[in-house]
Amino acid sequence: MALLDIHVLGSPILREPTRPVDEVTDELRRLVDDMFETMHAAKGIGLAAPQVGRSERLFVADVDDNPLVFINPEIVLAEGKAKGEEGCLSIPEVYGDVERAARVVMRGLDREGAPMEVDATELLARCLLHELDHLHGRLFVDYFSLLKRRSAMSKWEKEKAKYPALRRALISPKDLADQHNEEAL
């Protein structure tokens, strides 16, 4: 497995729609595994393909130790409304409230290409909807009011300076441990 660089706001791929997956291949399963590793290293709860520079319609999520892969996801049902704070691995240090459906039933294919359906509420529902948005080029800051968006973007302009290539490289927990070991020697 390998850690992937995360594209940050400003990278064009985050605004492009994805294309449906025709066939779940070994190569795609490797991508899924790498996305899980990357998401966990970044301490995120969801990661969509465009965030790692890929245009396949898929995302991974892990809320409450429940790892999920959604390939070609679609909403079957969305109901109610709930407001909650969100952040995004592609827009570090920017947070804000977003109103979304309180409950969502989503269907798609799993890592083996088998049909699956998840009935989600609370944080999982929010996470699935946030990730689905990524697959259509939408970002959580798009829901902000004009004023809130302006202040979020001025914060991001300062933060963005840390990512001149519009990529965020991660260090795996194992490499971090190795580094410390070297220092100890």
Binding footprint of Zn ion on the chain (CB under 5 A): 88
> By C-beta, is 3 or 88 nearer to Zn ion?
88
Whether 59 contacts 49, CB under 8 Å = yes
In the bound complex, what is the minimum distance in angstroms from residue 26's beta carbon to Zn ion?
A: 27
Helices (H), the chain: 26-41, 122-134, 146-160, 173-184
Annotation marks residue 122 as catalytic: no
In the bound complex, what is the minimum distance in angstroms from residue 92's beta carbon to Zn ion?
A: 11
Residue of 37, 56, 86, 131 with catalytic role: 131
In the bound complex, what is the minimum distance in angstroms from residue 134's beta carbon to Zn ion?
A: 6
Which residue's C-beta sits nearest to Zn ion? 88
**Alpha-carbon span 66 to 124, nearest angstrom:** 10
> By C-beta, is 68 or 88 nearer to Zn ion?
88
Taking the alpha carbons at both ends of the chain, their separation in whole angstroms is 28
Residue 127 tokens, joined: 């996470």
- Is residue 121 classed as helix, strand or coil in its secondary structure? strand
> By C-beta, is 24 or 57 nearer to Zn ion?
57
Residues labelled catalytic:
131
